[in-house]
Amino acid sequence: MTNNTLSQHIQRFYDENTGFFLTLGHSSEGSIHRAIWAYGVSSRAEALHYIDDKICKLLLDNNYSSEPHIVDLGCGVASSLCYIESQFSVTGLGITLSEKQCKLAEQRIKKQGYSKKLQCIQSDFCKLPKDLQKADLAFSIESFVHAQSAGAFFHQASSLVKPGGLLVICDDFLTDEDLSHDKKAAYWLERFQEGWVINSLLSNEQVNKYATQAGFKKIESQNLTPYLEINRPRDYFISLLVRVLNKFSLKNPYLQMLYGGDALQKCLSKQWINYEFKVWQKLND
Ligand SMILES: C[S@@+](CC[C@H](N)C(=O)[O-])C[C@H]1O[C@@H](n2cnc3c(N)ncnc32)[C@H](O)[C@@H]1O
C-alpha cells in the first residue's frame, strides 16, 4: 500500500469514527485516548487528562522566557490543546489527517475562547507544511502508531522542534521486536494493526533508534500499562461480539474499531504491548 493510500485509510477511519468516539466512547472530555487510573487519580476527567497534565508539568519545569509554542501531532478534536491552554498559557497548533476532526477542533477552540492562541490544520505529520512556527514542545498521544513511516515522523519532528525542545510520545510499543515469531502473539498483533490502522508498532529499541538518528536524546520513559482499564465487563461483551463477527467486523468502521480494540486488550493483557509515555530532547543542530 502506498503512503497516500495509508493516509486515506487513516483519514476515513477518523472521519467516520470520531462521532462514535465522542458519543459512544468513554470520553466526555473530547479526548480520543485512554483513561489512566494512576495513583491519586480520582475521577474519569482526571484519568482522561492524566497525560495532558504530564505535558503541563514538562512545560512548568522549563523556565521559558516567553510563552511556549506547542504542537499536537495527531490532535483529534484539540481536547489536549484546549486543556493545556486552560492550565498553562501557550500558543498551539493541532494537526490531524481528518477533515471532520479539524472542523470539530476549530469549533472546540472557538467555544473555549482560545481562537487567538490555538489553531488546527488538516495535514500529515509525516509531511508537514514547510513554514510552521518552531515548537518548544511537540507531542503525539496515540497517533504515532498510525505513522506511515516512523522515520518520516521523527524527521519532521526534528525539523519542527527547537534545539533543546521536547518531543513527547504516549502510545503502544512492542515489548519485544521478535514477537512476530510467536504465532499466537503475531495473530493478535496483526488483528490490532488491521483494526486500528496501525503502521508503526515498534519496540523501545526501534523507536529510540529512530529518535537518535533524528537528533533526539531520551529523557524519560514510563510504562503506564498497569493504570489502563483492561478486562472490564464491556470488554468481555465486545470480545464476544467481535469473535462471532470476526473479519466481517472490518467492513464497518465502528465494528473495525471494536475489532482492533479487542485485539489490543489481548496484547496488553499478555504483555506483548506496553502503553508508554516517552520524552526526548532535541539536541543542538
Ligand atoms: C487516537 S486519535 C488521538 C487523538 C488525540 N491525540 C487525543 O488524544 O485525543 C489519533 C489521531 O492521530 C491522527 N493521525 C494519524 N495519523 C496521522 C498523520 N499521518 N498525520 C496527522 N494526524 C494523524 C488522527 O487524525 C487522529 O487525530
Three-class secondary structure assignment of 88-125: CCCEEEEEECCHHHHHHHHHHHHHCCCCCCEEEEECEC
Whose alpha carbon is nearest atom 20 of ligand 1?
124
Percentage of the residues of the chain whose pLDDT score is greater than 90: 80
Mutate to test the pocket of ligand 1, among 27, 49, 96, 171 (most ligand atoms within 8 A of CB): 96
98 burial type by CB count under 10 A (0-12 exposed, 13-18 middle, 19+ buried): buried
Region 58-76: mean pLDDT is 96
Q: Label residue 7 by pLDDT band (50, 70, 90).
A: confident
Nearest to 197 by CA among 129, 249, 147: 147
- Ligand 1 within 6 A of 29 CB? no
Between the CA of 168 and the centroid of ligand 1 the distance, in Å, is 14
Between the CA of 65 and the centroid of ligand 1 the distance, in Å, is 30
CATH topology of domain 3-176+199-231+272-282: Rossmann fold (3.40.50)
Q: For position 206, what pLDDT does the model report?
A: 97
Q: For residue 32, give the ligand 1 atom closest to its CA.
A: 9
Q: For position 264, what pLDDT does the model report?
A: 96
- Ligand 1 within 6 A of 95 CB? yes
- Ligand 1 within 6 A of 101 CB? yes
**Residue 225 one-letter amino acid:** T
Q: Is the pLDDT at 179 greater than 70, yes or no?
A: yes
Q: For position 5, what pLDDT does the model report?
A: 84
Q: Label residue 207 by pLDDT band (50, 70, 90).
A: very high
Whose alpha carbon is nearest atom 23 of ligand 1?
74
User: Which has the minimum average pLDDT: 9-13, 145-149, 216-220?
Assistant: 9-13
Whose alpha carbon is nearest atom 27 of ligand 1?
76
CA dist 132 and 130 (Å) reads 6
Between the CA of 285 and the centroid of ligand 1 the distance, in Å, is 28
Between the CA of 38 and the centroid of ligand 1 the distance, in Å, is 24
Query: Would you give the DSSP letter of residue 60?
Result: H
CA dist 157 and 148 (Å) reads 14
Region 227-235: mean pLDDT is 89
Q: For position 244, what pLDDT does the model report?
A: 86
In the sheet with 118-122, reading across from the earlier edge strand, the strands are 118-122, 91-96, 69-73, 135-141, 161-174, 273-282, 216-223
Q: Which residue has the higher pLDDT, 35 or 6?
A: 35
150 burial type by CB count under 10 A (0-12 exposed, 13-18 middle, 19+ buried): buried
In degrees, to the nearest 5, what angle opens at C-alpha 171 toward C-alphas 149 and 245? 90
Region 43-72: mean pLDDT is 96
Q: For position 26, what pLDDT does the model report?
A: 63
Region 177-190: mean pLDDT is 93
Mutate to test the pocket of ligand 1, among 146, 224, 277 (most ligand atoms within 8 A of CB): 146
Residues 119-135 have pLDDT tens digits of 999 999 999 999 999 99
Q: Label residue 27 by pLDDT band (50, 70, 90).
A: low
Say which residue the cell 543542530 belongs to: 285
Q: For position 25, what pLDDT does the model report?
A: 66
- Ligand 1 within 6 A of 79 CB? yes
- Ligand 1 within 6 A of 33 CB? yes
- Ligand 1 within 6 A of 32 CB? yes
Whose alpha carbon is nearest atom 16 of ligand 1?
146
